[in-house]
Amino acid sequence: MNRKTLISITLAAALACGLAIAQPPGGGHPDPEAHLQNLSVLLELSPQQQAQLRDMLELKRKEMEARREAGRESREQMREERKANREAFEQDIAAILNAEQQAKFKAIQAERRARHEQRRAMRQQRSGEG
């Protein structure tokens, strides 16, 4: 193995270790300052390199935050649209039913929602046990 390859592998391993060390326990968001410190020690970064890396990490954090927020907004927006469509559909159905049919329809909806909540609770319980 030539010297450049060995150096590249060593740097890649050091970087991977630094990334793993910078991760907080429990899989939360990594602390950028801890990440920077670990990489600074492992890679023996100069103060100038540390400043550049700090800027890069901050930019990456902002990009990820923007992506996460955009995803959250689109999910919320889709959820709201589905809810509005469902409510409009239910109102359209209720408009063509007589009083007795509307009562049955509401009972069916209530039963359906109860089953849905029961399934959701069971899924949460199973995922909590695993």
What's the CA gap between 66 and 74, in Å, rounded?
Answer: 12
Indicate the pTM of the whole model. Answer: 0.41
Whether the CB-CB separation of 51 and 31 falls below 8 Å is answered with no
Q: For 56-67, how does the pLDDT look when each residue is reduced to its tens digit (9 = 90+)?
A: 878 888 888 887
Q: For 77-102, how does the pLDDT look when each residue is reduced to its tens digit (9 = 90+)?
A: 888 888 898 888 888 888 888 888 88
What's the CA gap between 92 and 102, in Å, rounded?
Answer: 11
Is the per-residue pLDDT at 19 higher than 60?
no
